[in-house]
Amino acid sequence: MKTATRLKSTPSLQQGGIYIRFFKRPLDIMLSILGIILLSPVFLVVSILVRTKLGSPILFRQERPGLNEKIFTIYKFRTMTEEKDEDGELLPDSIRLTKFGSFLRKSSIDELPELFNVLKGDMSLVGPRPLSVLYLPLYNETERLRHSVRPGLTGLSQVNGRNTINWEERFAFDVEYVNNITFINDMKIILKTVLIVFKKEDVVVRGTGKVIDFDEYRKI
């Protein structure tokens, strides 16, 4: 699973472009550094609140597939408790998610630590969202094209329904983005993301919405 799989490039990626080749990654670095500096007071306050309300660890860490399916560790602010049932199994997400944790998710504040993933090169500011490693064997050839670019802090599917749209629509948006990576499109997605975050639109807690996890969906 740790071995990166070289994916076939789409025509747009093969041809490249000045933005993809020379500007997208430097822009990620500059904007992630700027974001980390400007949001440092938010990082400090949220870290204290998470430690006080939810305990340790402050950060949620999980392995996700990145560029060419290379596995990396994603960072988020913790949003759930560690409550377990009488058998020692974690309770459902919807139960362990507190009001404070729900606020972090709806405001997308929980995803701010991913700026460090962007700075490291694991992610980009814009790209398909990194999903569970468990989904890797389930993608078809077209769906796997989402891994031919760095995963993003936000993406085309996030500004077109976020986690309320079905999996076919989500992956269609991901592939559409991969085939049309331009500076203008990235800026549009970033601006739309800011508006959506302020409106707190299209946020569904995992396990409580109509869209089921992809592994369960693919079984059906």
Tens-digit pLDDT profile for residues 36-70: 999 999 999 999 999 999 988 999 999 999 999 99
Tell me what pLDDT residue 92 has: 76
Tell me what pLDDT residue 7 has: 53
Q: What is the C-alpha to C-alpha distance for residues 21 and 205, in angstroms, rounded to an integer?
A: 37
Tell me what pLDDT residue 216 has: 82
User: CA torsion angle for 43, 45, 47, 53 (degrees, to 10)?
Assistant: -150
Tell me what pLDDT residue 63 has: 97
Find all residues with CB under 8 Å of 96, minimum gap 6, and list them.
80, 81, 82, 83, 90
* Bridge partners, residue 60, by sequence: 76
What are the strands, taking DSSP E only, across the chain? 59-65, 71-77, 124-126, 152-154
Tell me what pLDDT residue 105 has: 87
* Bridge partners, residue 97, by sequence: 80
* Cβ proximity of 137 and 69 under 8 Å: no
Stretches where the chain sits below pLDDT 70 are 1-16, 200-211
Backbone phi, psi, residue 169, to 5°: -65, -40
Pairing of strands 71-77, 59-65: antiparallel
pTM attached to this predicted model:
0.85
* Cβ proximity of 79 and 111 under 8 Å: no
Q: What is the C-alpha to C-alpha distance for residues 141 and 160, in angstroms, rounded to an integer?
A: 23
State both tokens at 57: 């660890």
What are the strands, taking DSSP E only, across 11-69? 59-65
One-letter identity of residue 36: I
Tell me what pLDDT residue 93 has: 73
One-letter identity of residue 132: S
Tell me what pLDDT residue 15 has: 46
Tell me what pLDDT residue 202 has: 54
Domain boundaries, the chain: 11-219
Tell me what pLDDT residue 126 has: 97
Q: What is the C-alpha to C-alpha distance for residues 130 and 219, in angstroms, rounded to an integer?
A: 21
Q: What is the C-alpha to C-alpha distance for residues 59 and 119, in angstroms, rounded to an integer?
A: 17
